[in-house]
Amino acid sequence: MSTLAIIGGTGLSQIEGLEISGQKQLTTPYGNPSAAYVLGRISGTQVVFLARHGNPHSIPPHRINYRANIWGLKELGVTKVIAAAAVGGITDEMSPGRIVIPTQLIDYSYGRDHTFFADDLDQVTHIDFSHPYHEPLRRQLLAAANKAGIPVSAQGVYGCTQGPRLETAAEIQRMQRDGCDLVGMTGMPEAALARELELDYAACAVVANWAAGKTTSTITMAEIERNLEQGMADMLKLLHQYLLDC
């Protein structure tokens, strides 16, 4: 049996429909996770939920203790992770409100503790990361979206920036030339750490705004929150369908 975790990002600090059975506050060799892990069931399936930015939402992307978060999930017996994320849309298909199950990523973040394989090593380890998202889990999420009648983009390249500031228009143009479809701040090192601990990991992104320079208007938190409301409601439907089927 596999235990599934959902990591909630901006706009998803708790899950509607989660029958909570307990909470686990863990300390790991890497420090404290962002929040207590919430244990419960959705549609009869056991789920662990973690609010990536803390609860209340107070930890900025570059200060998240990604290692502690992922280590704690492993310690709880989690084998699969669905990472919810708010993103900016770069390419035409990625309009606000759109849900995307990304296929690839490019990491532009820096200075984050990004590996478990750093200290006290018997040997040097290089994980394979050619395909950062677990393809069977991605397929299951896409099938759930189709069944629930929620339009999704079945592929996309996620670019992870450092934040907390948003990008310049030139940075977004460069990212587009690099092949990025989406921009977010929390996809890395989370995905790589999950791979290091052999957790199946896929992301479910909701487009909150057009990325910098894609429109003439400035990006405001109010706009992001407004667009996220509908997108996150759709994402919850998708997750419920996935859990019904798994």
Instruction: Provide the binding-site residues for ligand HPA, judged by CB under 6 A.
Output: 86-88, 161, 166-167, 183-185, 208-209, 211, 224
What b-and-e string marks burial along 16-27, b requiring 16 or more CB atoms within 10 Å of the CB? eebeeeeeeeee
Taking the C-alpha atoms of residue 83 and residue 67, their distance in angstroms, rounded to an integer, is: 15
Nearer to ligand HPA, 84 or 208 (CB): 208
Task: Compute the distance between CA of residue 228 and CA of residue 206 in angstroms, rounded to an integer.
Answer: 7
Smallest distance from ligand HPA to CB 17, Å = 24
In terms of CB distance, is 83 or 208 closer to ligand HPA?
Answer: 208
Residue closer to ligand HPA (CB basis): 82 or 87? 87
Residue closest to ligand HPA when measured from CB atoms: 88
Dist CA 141 CA 148 (whole Å): 10
Nearer to ligand HPA, 144 or 172 (CB): 172
CB of 18 to ligand HPA, least distance (A): 24
Residue whose CB is less far from ligand HPA, 72 or 88: 88
**Contact yes or no for 118/125 (Cβ under 8 A):** no
Kindly state the smallest distance separating residue 175's Cβ from ligand HPA, in Å: 10
C-alpha 180/C-alpha 173 separation (Å) is 9
- Minimum CB separation from ligand HPA for residue 237, in Å? 21
The amino acid at residue 16 is: E
